[in-house]
């Protein structure tokens, strides 16, 4: 084959990939009631998009944004009995660049880790967090995963900034992991 033919096929192939991905991502993100082809397209593409981490989901925005605020906390107990707290999704304490870098993690914690439907993720995440701490010289004996939620206020105004909401946070410890080699004080 000549170079022109190969180049033409390659160029069309790239365009076809972009068009197919755009259609799949659009279909994945649209509500089924607004896009009747979603079940048909999703049957072929949703598993591929999720596996390749190319999925899109727009529950933060329209057409039906979430009605609650969420955050996830890890509390770990060290060998000496001290408790330490780390908010995994505390975006308000971060600068914009750091928020942008960690947005995927925030979505993972808020959309998956905190939910009862995804409880198979709790133990692997606790072990991952344990390994991260031990690599940095901290030896926890217990790790608690805690979810917080409160109703999102629909009104806008200076007095309703995200860090100054009037609704109190609800708190629930949804998973406790203990190091198999240590006793909790």
**Residue boundaries of the structural domains of the chain:** 3-51, 68-178
Q: Whole-angstrom Cα distance, residue 9 to residue 77?
A: 59
- Report which of 83, 61, 57 is spatially closest to residue 144, judged by C-alpha positions: 83
Out of 58-72, 74-88, 90-104, 154-168, give the one with best mean pLDDT: 74-88
Out of 34-38, 113-117, 147-151, 175-179, give the one with best mean pLDDT: 175-179
Q: Where is 163: in which H helix or E strand?
A: none
Q: Whole-angstrom Cα distance, residue 71 to residue 102?
A: 14
What's the pLDDT score for residue 185? 45
Length of the chain as a residue count: 185
Q: Whole-angstrom Cα distance, residue 45 to residue 169?
A: 38
Q: Whole-angstrom Cα distance, residue 89 to residue 43?
A: 32
Residue 49 in tokens: 């998009």
Distance between start and end Cα atoms, the chain: 74
Question: CA geometry: angle at 120 spanning 65 and 47, to 5°?
Answer: 60
Question: Could you read off the pLDDT of 140-176 as tens digits, one per residue?
Answer: 999 999 999 888 766 555 555 555 556 788 999 999 9
74 to 2, 52, 88, 114, 181: CA distances (angstroms): 60, 28, 7, 11, 20
Mean pLDDT over 8-22 rounds to: 81
Residue 140 in tokens: 């926890």
Out of 99-103, 120-124, 155-159, give the one with best mean pLDDT: 120-124
Q: Where is 182: in which H helix or E strand?
A: none
- Report which of 74, 60, 84 is spatially closest to residue 152, judged by C-alpha positions: 60
What's the pLDDT score for residue 143? 95
Out of 64-68, 80-84, 91-95, 158-162, give the one with best mean pLDDT: 80-84
Residue pair 89/110 in contact by the 8 Å Cβ criterion: yes
């Amino acid at each position: 084959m000549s170079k022109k033919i190969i180049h033409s096929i390659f160029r069309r192939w790239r365009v076809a990939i972009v068009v197919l991905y755009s259609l799949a991502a659009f279909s994945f993100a649209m509500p089924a009631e607004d896009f009747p082809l979603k079940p048909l397209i999703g049957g072929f593409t949703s598993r591929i998009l999720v596996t390749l981490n190319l999925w899109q989901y727009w529950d933060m925005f329209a057409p039906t944004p979430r009605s609650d605020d969420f955050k996830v906390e890890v509390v770990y107990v060290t060998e000496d009995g001290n408790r330490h707290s780390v908010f995994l999704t505390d975006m308000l304490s971060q600068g914009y660049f750091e928020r942008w870098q960690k947005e995927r993690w925030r979505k993972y914690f808020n959309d998956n880790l905190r939910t009862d439907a995804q409880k198979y993720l709790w133990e692997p995440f606790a072990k991952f967090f344990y390994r991260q701490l031990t690599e940095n010289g901290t030896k926890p004996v217990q790790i608690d995963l805690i979810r917080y939620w409160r109703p999102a206020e629909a009104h806008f105004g200076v007095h309703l900034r995200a860090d100054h909401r009037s609704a109190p946070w609800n708190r629930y410890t949804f998973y406790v992991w203990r190091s198999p080699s240590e006793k909790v004080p």
